[in-house]
Amino acid sequence: MLNDLWRIRPNPVPSVDVIVEREDGVVLIKRKNPPHGWALPGGFVEYRESLEEAARREIKEEINLEVKGLRQFHTYSDPVRDPRFHTITTVFIAKGEGEPRAADDAQELKIFKKNTLPSNMAFDHKQILEDYFNG
């Protein structure tokens, strides 16, 4: 459906990504679908959904957590940040309640610290996490 919309009127697509903080690091997922690699949990904003609602929904769908203290971090809008089409993502920071579990688009889930981030990251998520860790 998004590809059809893109052909009709090539506008940027809104998305959200969430830096889920845990005591031992941040949660990343290994994507099942292209583009492959490690990524922050997140996804597209649905019609009639706020950015905050989308962030909460994506966290529940992808890593099975409820979030607390959701707050905006930054917006990333480089037209080539997503190889599929032009997206604009709003990144949030939140605490996750419960035990994270990979689900939906997540093939695997791990918690990483600043010095253990994987090299094969999707999108611009390496840059996002560098911005986060470097304050």
Average pLDDT score over residue span 20-42 = 96
Q: What is residue 3's predicted lDDT score, i.e. its pLDDT?
A: 67
How far is residue 41's CA from residue 31's CA, in Å, rounded to a whole number?
9
CB 93 within 8 A of CB 55: no
Whole-model pTM? 0.92
What's the pLDDT score for residue 6?
Answer: 57
Token code pair at residue 51? 């950015």
- The rounded distance, in Å, linking the Cα atoms of 91 and 93 is 7
For tokens 């529940």, what's the residue?
60
Residues 56-105: pLDDT tens digits?
Answer: 999 999 999 999 999 999 999 999 999 999 999 999 999 988 899 999 88
Mean pLDDT of the chain: 94
Is residue 86 a contact partner of residue 12, using CB atoms and an 8 Å limit?
yes
pLDDT at residue 10, rounded to an integer: 78
* Among 80, 104, 83, 77, residue whose Cα is nearest residue 14: 77
Q: Count Cα atoms within 13 angstroms, Cβ side, for 27.
A: 31
The pLDDT assigned to 20 comes to 98
Q: Which residues are catalytic?
A: 108
Phi and psi at residue 125, in whole multiples of 5°?
Answer: -70, -25
Choose between 2 and 54: higher pLDDT.
54
Domains of the chain: 11-133 (3.90.79.10)
Above 80 in pLDDT, residue 55?
yes
